[in-house]
Amino acid sequence: SANSATRGSHHAIPAPCRVAAPAQSRSLLDCRLDHREPSMLPRAFYDRDTATVARELLGKAAGKIVLPTDGVLGDKFAADANQQTVALAAGVPDGWAMYDIGPETVAAFRQVLSTAKTVVWNGPMGVFEFEAFSHGTEVVARAIAASSAFSIAGGGDTLAAIAKYGIEKDIG
C-alpha cells in the first residue's frame, strides 16, 4: 500500500509487490532479495545493499527465521477491496497487492510466539486499519500479549495496533 510505504515500513514484510505481468509473478521475498532491482517493485521498496545483507542473514539463520508463506491480497487500497489469499511462492498477480499475512503464516507466527523468550515487534502484519486486512496484526498482537516472553514494541503503527486491540498492559 502506498500508505504503509510512507509509514516507514518499506523494509517490512508484507508490503505491496505489484507485478507487471502474470509471467513475472514472484514472491515478495524473491522480489526483495533478488540481486538486481526487480522491475515490478517501486524503487522505494528495493535496496540492493539491504537485500544482500538479508540473504546473508537468512543463510546463516537457516531454519531459525520464519517468513510469510501466504498473504491476503487486495485489488485496491481500500476497506472494500476484493480479496484473495495466495501462496507467496506463486507470486502476486497483476493488479493486486499484498495487504496482510495469510492464515498459514498467522498459524506459523503464533506457534513461534508461543515459545519465544523475547519478542521485538516493529510494524503491523498488514493494513490493520481496514478490517479486511487486520487479522494478521490482531492475531500476532494477541499472541505476543498472551506469551510469557519479554516483549518490546515500537513504532507509531505498532503502538496504534496495540491500542486498537486494548493490550497495552500485556506488552513488555
Average pLDDT score over residue span 105-133 = 95
Burial class (CB in 10 A: 0-12, 13-18, 19+), 157: buried
pLDDT band at 21 (very low <50, low <70, confident <90, very high): very low
> pLDDT over 70 for what percent of the chain?
73
Residue 75 sits at φ, ψ, to 5 deg, of: -90, -5
Question: Which of 28-37, 57-66, 132-141 shows the highest mean pLDDT?
Answer: 132-141
Average pLDDT score over residue span 134-163 = 94
Q: Are strands 150-154 and 83-87 parallel, antiparallel or unpaired?
A: unpaired
The span from the CA of 41 to the CA of 21, in Å, is 12
pLDDT digits (tens, 9 = 90+) for 50-106: 888 888 888 898 888 888 999 999 999 999 999 999 999 888 888 999 999 999 999
Q: Which set of grid coordinates corresponds to residue 117?
A: 523468550
First to last CA, the chain: 29
- Partner residues linked to 97 by β-bridges: 74
Helix (H) or strand (E) holding 48: helix 48-60
Average pLDDT score over residue span 150-161 = 92
Helix (H) or strand (E) holding 120: strand 118-122
pLDDT score of 92: 87
